Structure 1
Amino acid sequence: MTLIRLIRIAWVLSRYRLDTLLNHQQVPWLIRFSLWFFPLRWIIPARGSDGRRLRLALESLGPVFVKFGQILSTRRDLMPAEMAQELAYLQDRVPAFPGKRARHLVEEALGASIETLFLEFGEEPMASASVAQVHAAKLPDGQSVVVKVIRPAIRRVILKDIRLMELMARLVNTIPDGRRLRPIEVVDDFRKTILDELDLLREGANMATLRRNFEGSESLYVPWVHWDYTRRSVLTMERISGIPVADVEQLQQAGVNMKLLAERGVEIFFTQVFRDSFFHADMHPGNIFVNRAHPESPQYIGIDCGIVGSLSREDQSYLAQNLLAFFNRDYYRVAELHVESGWVPAHTRVNEFEAAIRSVCEPIFEKPLAEISFGLLLVRLFQTARRFDMTVQPQLVLLQKTLLNIEGLGRQLYPQLDLWATAKPFLENWVREQVGPARFLKAVQQHGPGWIAKAPQMPDLVHDTLMNLRKVGGVEQRIQAELREVRAEQQRANRKLTRRLVAAVLLLFVFWTGDPGAWLQSLSPKQWAGLGLGAVLLLWP
């Protein structure tokens, strides 16, 4: 089956002429030679852009490759803009599997018949994505829900296709230009992301956390999860009714305040990142709706929380300071923060890094502030930092992707959106809250009970620590003594070697200046002295 799949992949690659994506001058000769055997390259011309042909090829190869294309579209730091834009069209374009099969999967997962579990269950899927599809249903008490079902046998298909992707990634990695795209790393990220999405219990937990974080909020609503009807392969959640956020015409007809809606999207993002350190990292338009109830005070509805991101407190702090430094065009501080945070190696020359950042940012800041894409600014910053051996930070890649989605959506809803007019006060307040008495009191409030609980153990811990230090000190003294002995032995060996070298030179002098045939009979006093001294040095212990 693997061979058949490989042949199928080769056929699709040749059908859509993806061989043209390779720079033939930099491809190893073996790959360049194999390209001559692409079956359709001599018949079908390469029609359309590179990105469009890549998108069509991924669609033809099925759900796993479609999902890979979706994730690849978020790596704008690695891909040309046109190609990333084409791959972004892959959302929700996967054929559904039969509804009867979905019924069977739900019954198998929940251990009962559909008639026992639900008052109603719609076999016609409401939507179909790359790894799952959703069906409308009603619980026995009449509550409307949607049931998300993982595609049958998708895990086995995913693992097989990932193995093939890894093989192709290794081939691409042999090309100099391909190596720059880090294909092995991209496939590895894809493996982790998609296998996490197959666990709907994890997605349900993400939804519950996000819902709790925004409980009572006017900005964001997250549906509740019905845990009694949820398993690893089945997720049952509240059915929501809203306007798709991408349907701008319907939003305007409903009288939605578009300016406030766009600003709230930005506020939600920064609140998730900096207040909660837990953000929805798959906020494409297919996963966002707008509540119809209060158009003058619009509320987002978020679904599909399979991918979430989080930042450490250190990353939060450095990111906030980075963004503020960008706003103030303090490029030296941006470079410093990258070194301090460990995002680039400690040996990086800050002045050189600052100059590189300045060359990227100054042309962007020539535009009016309201027209600047700060998501794109982050992309270009990461591209620049990679030249200075910046290690890939997965949490920052997710953040960058989410910021691009939010910014693009906000400008689609309200083209005059000034991202910084909304974001800057939030960031400044957050940075202020991280220092000063208020932050100290909050830390005491959070950790004080734990400190008090541990206080009785402190004398014993201090005593044990001091005893361990004493032991460590004794061990260190023994090690130092052994090192001194080793150094002394090395010095003795060096002196012995020196003496023997001198002896060899003296003996060579004796033989070189004497007659080789009769040197013993005709040795001069000088030569006898040299010979004796050489023998003494040679035999000296």
Structure 2
Amino acid sequence: MVMISYKNLKRYRDIAHILIKYGFSFIVEKLNIEGVAYRIPITNPPEEIKAMSTGEKIRRVFEELGPTYVKLGQILSTRKDLLDQDIIDELSKLRDSVEEFSTYTAREIFIEELGLSVDDVFAEFNNEPMAAASIGQVYEAVLKSGEQVIVKIQRPNIEETIKSDLEILRTIVKGLKDLKKDIDIDLGQIIEEFQIQLLRELDYNFEAINAIKFKQMFKDSEMVYIPQVYSQFTTRRVLVMEKIIGVKLSDIDKINKMGWDTKAISEIGVKSFFKQVFEHGFFHADPHPGNIFVLNNRCISYIDFGMIGIIDKKTLNILNEVALAVIDKNVDKIMYLMMEIDAIDTEDEIAGIRQDLLYLIHYYYDVPLEKISIGDILNEIFRFFRTYKVTMPSQLATLAKTVITLEGTARELNPEFSVSSMGKEYIRYYYVNKFSPERIFLNSKNSMEEILLDLKTIPRQLRVILRNLEKNKVKINIEDIEVPRLETRIADLATQLSLSLVLASIVVGSSLIIASPNIEKNVWIKYMAIIGFSISFIIGILLVIKIFRTQYKKK
């Protein structure tokens, strides 16, 4: 039985009702939530709902559960490595569908955050919101200095609502821990990632920082323009950003009427994406047509920086190596690289993975490039991952989803867009970055820093080992060793060590006698030194023989 916080009891009941309504009563039964499970009758859903696909039922559940769950569904729609395509297709339809809250409330929140009224900051402020989303509302305004801006104001009490929903989700995941055996998905990890992303979206400072980074990234570019953030008017719940005057990328008809070259615009999008990934490891993770404006024939602008992706250099280098291994049809190298990023953690299905990978590469290798869809390839890879339970790092899942979205956007602009277009740009960026003098110098510098770090670390590690040895804190696990043989080996080592110590002592003693100034006064002292060296010579011979005999026995 799942123990719950009774302040959320009504919410648990709402969730149980909706799950039962769409035929997921088995989840309610498995949760067995105290105060909920036995008070809601388990009924069969109507025929209309029974006729729905599993993906559609899940989407409807998320929609009825509200903003937090809609966001969760949107994030899950990017995890093609975890869910089947029919569920992904349905979750991709999830859109923020919420009622507007009053502009009076929005103005009050603005005062709470900035200590200034809307009229103190703006010369004009449109009281009709231009958009209402699950997190906040967007207004058009004009600053006192004359700049046209958009103003995002967060919904009242949305943070408390979302945190309460997250607490419920964590409780539900604990109750469904046995379900992991059936679906092989780490629900806890998904909720953890979801919580981090959602809590960041609740703080508009994160979006502001992302926009500032992109502004710096494209400061010298004539092809990409990033709107300015007005940091002095931006807080956790308010964001003021330059308004972009242009045509939304989704409005293809208007772009064509303007006489702009859609093919050139699609190429700008691809080039800017690779610049983000290869040069900065920091990219816009939601480049759908609604988040990109066309300013003129040779310039686009990104908006909405709430969802970004980050990829580190090591992962990017491995990704590059995988791409080159695919070109060489080197399946063994691909397997090795997958193990490097811990994507494969079992030896049980290595043969099956290898065979399926080989088939996958050969299937697509000879297909004409203009007939290949990047989305199709990645979807096939995701199917492969699900089949063999390959773990995909979340940063790669985000990157793959972004590539699929980018390809779809590029094809809307240019129906002739093909994988070769993206492939050429990828190869150009790969080799320019790999072999540029700046990159070679940076890589050499990083390698030297790693070596220096190792040199600094090794003595400290040795000190720790020696300290543990001194305190007798070292444990040795011995398996499959014959004890008598081990005892004999230890006795041999002890004998050799004893002889070595005796030999060293006699040699040192004899040397001191030889060096003594009294050696010429007393002939017996000279004889003692000679006897000492003779004995040490004999012991040395015996020690050598002992060592050779031990080595012979080992063979």
TM-score range, shorter chain: 0.7 to 0.9
Task: Name the aligned partner's letter for residue 356 of structure 1.
Answer: D
Does 2:379 correspond to 1:374? Answer: no
TM-superposition CA deviations, 1:508-536 (whole Å, max 9, x none)? xxxxxxxxxxxxxxxxxxxxxxxxxxxxx
Corresponding position of 1:275: 279
CA-atom RMSD, angstroms? 4.1
Q: Is the 8 A contact 1:136 1:147 kept in 2?
A: yes
Q: Determine the C-alpha separation between the residues in 1 that align with 2:436 and 2:120.
A: 58
Is 1:94 paired with 2:101? no
Conserved? CA contact 2:180–2:186, under 8 Å: no
1:115 lines up with 2:139 in the alignment: no
1:407 alignment partner in structure 2 = 407
User: Does the Cα contact within 8 Å between 1:370 and 1:418 map onto a contact in 2?
Assistant: yes
1:242 paired to 2:246? yes
Residues 69-468 of structure 1: pairs in structure 2 closer than 5 A: 69-175=73-179, 179-291=183-295, 294-295=296-297, 297=298, 299-345=299-345, 352-365=352-365, 367-385=367-385, 390-431=390-431, 433-435=433-435, 439-442=439-442
In structure 1, the residue corresponding to 2:137 is in which secondary structure?
Answer: strand
For residues 426-458 of structure 1, what are the alpha-carbon distances to aligned partners after superposition, in whole Å with 9 as ceiling and x for unaligned? Answer: 33542464258653334578999x99xxx9xx9
Q: 1:170 to 1:413 in 2, by over 3 A?
A: farther
CA distance in 1, matches of 2:31, 2:238: 49
Given the alignment of the two structures, is residue 7 of structure 1 paired with residue 13 of structure 2, yes or no? yes
Kindly indicate whether the alpha-carbon contact (under 8 Å) linking 1:336 and 1:350 is maintained by their aligned counterparts in 2. Answer: no
Relative to structure 1, the CA distance from residue 466 to residue 151 in structure 2 (aligned partners, 3 Å threshold; closer, same or farther) is: closer
CA distance in 2: counterparts of 1:88 and 1:467, whole angstroms: 53
Give the 3 Å change call, closer, same or farther, for CA 214–346 of structure 1 in structure 2. farther
Residues 482 and 312 of structure 1, relative CA distance in 2, 3 Å threshold? closer
Contact map agreement 2:30 2:175 (CA 8 A) in 1: no
The answer (yes or no) to whether the contact 1:28–1:174 under 8 Å persists in 2 is no
* TM superposition shift of 1:311: 1.4
Q: Residues 336, 103 of structure 1: CA spacing in aligned structure 2 closer, same or farther, 3 A cutoff?
A: same
Letter matched to residue 335 of structure 1: M
Deviation at 1:28, TM superposition (A): 6.5
2: CA distance, partners of 1:439 / 1:261: 29
Deviates more, 1:469-478 or 1:160-169: 469-478
Work out the CA distance in 2 between the residues paired with 1:469 and 1:8: 56
TM-score scaled by length of structure 2: 0.74
Change in 2 beyond 3 A, CA 1:53/1:473: closer
Say which is worse superposed, 377-386 or 65-74, in terms of deviation: 377-386
1:93 Cα offset (Å): 2.8
Partner SS state of residue 119, structure 1:
strand
Contact between 2:78 and 2:88, CA under 8 Å: does it hold in 1? yes
What displacement does 1:200 show?
0.8
| CA deviation after TM superposition for structure 1 residue 367, in Å | 4.5
Match of 1:511?
none
* CA shift digits 1:178-203 (9 cap, x unpaired): 53243332222211110011111111
Whether the aligned pair in 1 keeps the contact of 2:140 and 2:151 (CA below 8 Å) is yes
Q: C-alpha distance in 2, partners of 1:159/1:390?
A: 31
Deviation at 1:219?
A: 3.0
Conserved? CA contact 1:266–1:423, under 8 Å: no
| AA of the residue aligned to 1:288 | I
C-alpha spacing 1:176/1:478, structure 2 compared with 1 (3 Å): closer
Contact 1:146 1:236 in 2 (8 A): yes
- What SS is found at the alignment partner of 2:92? helix
Alpha-carbon displacement from aligned partner over 1:21-47 (angstroms, at most 9, x marks no partner): x799xx96979x989933462686434
Q: How many matched pairs?
A: 474
Please tell me the residue identity of whatever aligns with 2:272: I
Unaligned runs of 5+ in 1: 496-541
Q: Distance in 2 between matches of 1:173 and 1:471?
A: 43
AA at the equivalent of 1:202: F
User: Which one is further off, 363-372 or 406-415?
Assistant: 363-372
Q: Residues of 2 paired with 1:336 and 1:211: CA distance?
A: 38
More displaced 10-residue stretch of structure 1: 345-354 or 83-92: 345-354
CA distance in 2: counterparts of 1:63 and 1:423, whole angstroms: 38
Shift of 1:276: 1.0
Look up the match of 1:506.
Answer: none
Partners of 1:276 and 1:234 lie apart in 2 by 28
Aligned to 1:19: 24
| Distance in 1, Cα, partners of 2:458 & 2:169 | 55
For 1:398, the aligned partner's letter is: T
Written as runs of structure 1 = structure 2, the 5 A alignment for 1:488-507 is none
Equivalent position SS for 1:142: coil
Q: Secondary structure at the match of 2:24?
A: helix
Is the contact between residue 320 and residue 427 of structure 1 (CA under 8 Å) also seen in structure 2?
no
Change (3 A) 1:357 1:125: same
Matches of 1:60 and 1:468 in 2, distance apart? 57
- The one-letter amino acid paired with 1:401 is K
- In 1, are the aligned partners of 2:70 and 2:96 still within 8 Å (CA)? no
Report the alpha carbon displacement of residue 234 of structure 1 after superposing the two structures with TM: 0.6
1:202-254 CA distance string (max 9 Å, x none): 11010000111012323322110001100011110001122221222222222
1:142 maps to amino acid: G
- Whether the aligned pair in 2 keeps the contact of 1:244 and 1:289 (CA below 8 Å) is yes
The 3-state SS of whatever aligns with 1:434 is: helix
Structure 2 Cα separation of the partners of residues 93 and 171 of structure 1 = 29
Structure 2 CA distance for partners of 1:229 and 1:474, relative to 1, 3 Å: closer
Q: Which residue of 2 aligns with 1:536?
A: none
Secondary structure, counterpart of 1:301 in structure 2: strand
Tell me: CA distance 1:170–1:431, structure 2 relative to 1, closer, same or farther (3 Å): farther
CA contact 1:210–1:222 (8 Å) conserved in 2: yes
Query: Alignment identity in percent?
Result: 29
SS in 1 for 2:80: coil
CA shift, 1:316, in A, is 1.0
Q: 1:522 aligns to what? A: none
Change (3 A) 1:428 1:222: closer
Letter in 1 for 2:24: D
2:308 is matched by which residue type in structure 1?
V
SS in 2 for 1:355: helix
Deviations 1:394-445 (A, max 9, x none): 2112112211211121122222211333333433542464258653334578
Gaps of 5+ in 2: 1-6, 489-555
C-alpha distance in structure 2 between counterparts of 1:365 and 1:482, whole Å: 53
Question: Residues of 2 paired with 1:323 and 1:14: CA distance?
Answer: 46
